[in-house]
Amino acid sequence: MALKTKIRTYSADSDLIARRRQEIAIAAFHALAKKGFDRTSVREIAKACHMAQGTIYYYIGSKKDIFDLLLTQAKAHYEEFFEKADAYFKTLSPTQALKQTIEDFYRKLDERQDFALFCYQEAKNMSPSQQKTLLDWDRSVVDVFRRLLTKGCASGEFVIADVTLVAHHIVVDSAMWAVRRWFLREYYTLEEYIRKEVQFILAAICRDGGISNEG
């Protein structure tokens, strides 16, 4: 998917801009994740992109614009998750829909775990509008789980005193796989971690005590 951002550019070739910005986002991320935003110069980013420092400014206006590229790229990565979650909500029982949505989200996060960690570390360096974009995205993820939990309470499958808090708990536990991966991977594979998390969450909220009736 092409990156669509409102970033200043001196090129009129929209296809070229999209390709170059995709390349910049990928290469710059590795440089920024290694040294941090403050300690990484535009010269180093340009070198990682195999571009002259002056050339990179044809596609971005400043170093902070790279955050826009990364956030747009991340949003595209999770589009499939939101589409599947909506389908599960409409077609599966609340218990099965929640189970499947948790599994999908945790696997999606595992694919971009470096980015998840990067956002925790570098959100302070984002502009207010970029921070809002990140926060709005996080709210949209929480809302996916909040809707599923609310539906389960209405159907009688779940018993939850605070749906919003449980929804946040699910999202935070997914991030823990990225933030504390050095420790967790000593004990669990991704699939083991997902299975234990699903069991823990459903045992806490399901009226029948978990997933024994639905697998």
In the chain the domains, ranked by start, together with CATH numbers, are 14-71 (1.10.10.60), 78-205 (1.10.357.10)
- Which residues of the chain have a pLDDT value below 50? 1-5, 8, 10, 211-215
The pLDDT of residue 86: 97
User: Of 28, 64, 59, which Cα lies nearest the Cα of 46?
Assistant: 28
- The set of residues, in sequence order, having a beta carbon less than 8 Å from that of 54 and lying 6+ positions away, is none
Is the separation of the CB atoms in 59 and 107 below 8 Å? no
The pLDDT of residue 62: 84
pLDDT tens for residues 82-141?
Answer: 999 999 999 999 999 999 999 999 999 999 888 888 888 888 889 999 999 999 999 999
Alpha helix segments (H runs only) across the chain: 14-35, 42-48, 53-56, 65-77, 79-91, 94-111, 113-122, 128-155, 163-179, 181-184, 190-205
Is the separation of the CB atoms in 124 and 116 below 8 Å? no
The pLDDT of residue 213: 38
The pLDDT of residue 209: 59
The pLDDT of residue 15: 78
The pLDDT of residue 7: 52
The pLDDT of residue 13: 61
The pLDDT of residue 73: 85
Q: What CA–CA distance (Å, rounded) separates 143 from 92? A: 18
Residue 54: what residue type? G
Q: What CA–CA distance (Å, rounded) separates 144 from 26? A: 28
The pLDDT of residue 29: 85
